[in-house]
Amino acid sequence: MALEALIFDVDGTLSETERDGHLVAFNRAFKEAGLDWHWSEALYGELLAVTGGKERIRFYLDKYNTGFERPDNLDEFIAGLHASKTSHYVDLLATGGIPLRKGVIRLLDEARAEGLRLAIATTTTVDNVTALLEHAVSSEAIDWFEVIGAGDVVPAKKPAPDIYNYVLEKMNLKPEQCMAFEDSANGIKSAGGAGLPIIITVDSYTTHHDFTGARLILDNMGEPDQPFKVIGGSHASVVTGDDKYLNIDLVRRIHSA
Ligand code: XBP
Ligand code: MG
């Protein structure tokens, strides 16, 4: 089946948002709420095992801060903290700006020029996706994506396949007509569970993850003057010595091989 659409994860794939964005925003929200919690970079790496900010806070309480005296309405308490975290995250993007990763804007431009359909499948909040694209690209960039599958739109977040199934259904596409772009083990489980072929670009938190089943694993998408490194993948042999960066031609070859 011909390639019709590209479906992108956001955090870690489009941008290195976890360490420089989400972690900082969580800590600001905790401080603002008068809590003495502080998540270090190393602890956050462990907390990333659970996707979704609200789910991550609960995981932290269950596993790393069991002595915390929980308020009567824990759901409401977590939802309040998370709303504050989202607001700090959006502010961070607006003021500091977190750039998109190497090669991402080039690949998106090329895909649009070739008429490929684009979508997003992420566990993060939709406001965060809008803010990232607006500040890292432009206010129109959100419209490049036909479907934004984000956050609580499905009950089960990654590693469940639900968010990818949601996007496929909205676009009326079969998984074989698409390529998914991910950066993490939870992401590959989710996209793989929905039957999609996957290209991985690892990031600082995910280099040690298990990416079995990925067609191609790269350090990043690369640029003509800043070549990518092929780390592995079932279709890595499709990459020739002339391929220096991920372009649509290479995505198509990986897809059809
Ligand atoms: C992203 C996540 C999210 C963000 C926080 O995973 O795990 O939880 O860290 O987002 P993926 P919210 O890249 O696999 O989609 O706080 O908005 O939930
Ligand atoms: Mg990710």
Mean of all residue pLDDT scores within the chain: 96
**Are 22 and 33 contacting, i.e. CB atoms less than 8 angstroms apart?**
no
Minimum CA distance residue for ligand 1 atom 16? 53
> Structure pTM?
0.96
- Picking from 203, 199, 235, the residue whose alpha carbon sits closest to that of residue 217 is 199
The Å distance, Cα 14 to ligand 2 centre, comes to: 8
Of 3.40.630.30, 1.10.150.240, 3.40.50.2300, 3.40.50.720, which CATH number belongs to 18-94?
A: 1.10.150.240
The Å distance, Cα 184 to ligand 2 centre, comes to: 6
Half-sphere exposure of 145 (CA within 13 A, CB side): 23
- Picking from 25, 183, 24, the residue whose alpha carbon sits closest to that of residue 101 is 183
pLDDT digits (tens, 9 = 90+) for 79-111: 999 999 999 999 999 997 799 999 999 999 999
Pocket of ligand 1, beta carbon within 6 A = 9-12, 18, 22, 51-53, 56, 85-86, 122-125, 128, 151, 158, 184, 186-187
Q: What distance in Å separates the CA atoms of residue 91 and residue 131, rounded to the nearest whole number?
A: 9
pLDDT digits (tens, 9 = 90+) for 107-161: 999 999 999 999 999 999 999 999 999 999 999 999 999 999 998 899 999 999 9
Of 3.40.50.970, 3.40.640.10, 3.40.50.620, 3.40.50.1000, which CATH number belongs to 5-16+99-256?
A: 3.40.50.1000
Catalytic-residue membership of 11: yes
pLDDT digits (tens, 9 = 90+) for 193-232: 999 999 999 998 999 999 999 999 999 999 999 999 999 9
Q: What distance in Å separates the CA atoms of residue 179 and residue 29, rounded to the nearest whole number?
A: 36
Catalytic-residue membership of 183: no
